[in-house]
Amino acid sequence: MKIMDKTIICEQLTKQFGDFRAVDGISFHVNAGEIFGFLGANGAGKTTAMRMLCGLSIPSSGSATVAGFDVYKQTENIKRKIGYMSQKFSLYEDLTVKENIEFFGGIYGLSNQQLRQKSEQLIDKLELGSVANSLVSGLPLGWKQKLAFSVSVLHEPRIVFLDEPTGGVDPITRRQFWDLIYEVAAAGVTVFVTTHYMDEAEYCNRVSIMVDGKIEALDTPGALKQQFSAIDMDEVFYALARRAQRQAD
C-alpha cells in the first residue's frame, strides 16, 4: 500500500447557510505527523470548517478528503479514522476514569484484550493509578483534559482534531498537554488544533488564520511573523483579525 503523506486535502471548500457563507472557498493540505494550527476570530468559520472535515456537516461546494476519504460520501469512514476532543465535550463526568477509557475504546471497536492493555498503559503514563476507579467529575480540569486527549487517540487515528483543548487550564498543565501533542505527532498522527493562546500557535508546524470565512494567511509561524513584520503571533493575529467585517457567532 502506498503511504499517503497528505492526510487532509481541501479544495475550495464552502458552506452556505441561506444567504450566509460561513466558509468561503478554503484550500489547504495537511501532512501526516504535522501539527496544524487553525486560528481565526470568533465567528470566522473555524467550527463550521472543522465540522465538515470531521464528516459532521456536508459541504455546499468544493472538495475535501480526510485520511483519504471523501467528506461528501464517506463520512462514516472518516469518523472511524479521526479522533476529536474539545474543551466543552470530552469525557463522561459520571463515569470513572477506567469506564471512560473502556467506553470510548469500545465505541471505536477495540477488542477486550486491546482495551485492557491500552487502559493500563494509559493510566500508567498519565499517573492516574490512584484515581482509576474514581468518577471523572472529581478530577482537576488539567487531568481531565490530558485524559480526554489520550482517550481521543486510543484507536490510533490518522488525524486528531482538537478544538480549544487547553482553555482555562493552568499554565503548567497546558504545557504538559502540548508534550502529549508532540508525542502523537512524532508517531505520525496529524494534529489539527484551534486555540486562543497565541504562544501555542508558535508550537505548530504551520498555522492558518481565517477571517470572514476565508483563509487569509497560511505558513510557518516564523514566515508569518516575517510577512507581517510582527514580533510574535499575537501581532500577526491582530493585524489580520481586526480586518474582519463579519460579527462573531
Partner 1 sequence: MIAVELDRIAKSYAKGKVQAVRSVSFDVHKGELFGLIGPDGAGKTSIFRMLTTLLIPDAGKATVDGFDIVKDYKAIRKRVGYMPGRFSLYQDLSVQENLEFFATLFDTTIDANYEMIRDIYAQIERFKNRKAGKLSGGMKQKLALCCALIHKPSVLFLDEPTTGVDAVSRKEFWEMLRSLRAQNITILVSTPYMDEATLCDRIALIQEGQILSIDTPQGIIQSFGSPLLAVKSEQMISLLHHLRNYSGTKTCYTFGEFHHLTLKETEEVSDLKTYLKSKGQVGVEIQSVQPTIEDCFMAQMNRRADQNENYG
* Pick from 48, 30, 7, 24: nearest CA to 211: 24
Which cell numbers hold the place of 215? 483563509
- DSSP labels, 129-152: GGGTTSBGGGS-HHHHHHHHHHHH
Q: Does 244 bind partner 1 (CB under 8 A)?
A: yes
Min dist. Cβ of residue 84 to partner 1 (A): 19
Site size for partner 1 (CB under 8 A): 37
Say if residues 192 and 33 touch (Cβ distance below 8 Å): no
Selected range binding partner 1 among 100-108, 115-123, 152-160, 234-242, rule: CB under 8 A: 234-242
Q: Does 172 bind partner 1 (CB under 8 A)?
A: yes
Give one word for 46, left, alpha or beta, with left for phi > 0 and alpha for psi -120 to 50.
alpha
131-160 residues in contact with partner 1 (CB under 8 A) are 138, 140-142
Q: Does 237 bind partner 1 (CB under 8 A)?
A: yes
Say whether 241 sits in a helix, a strand or coil.
helix
Which residue's CB is nearer to partner 1, number 123 or number 169?
A: 169
Contact with partner 1 (CB under 8 A) among 106, 182, 226, 227: 182
Contact with partner 1 (CB under 8 A) among 49, 123, 207, 233: 233
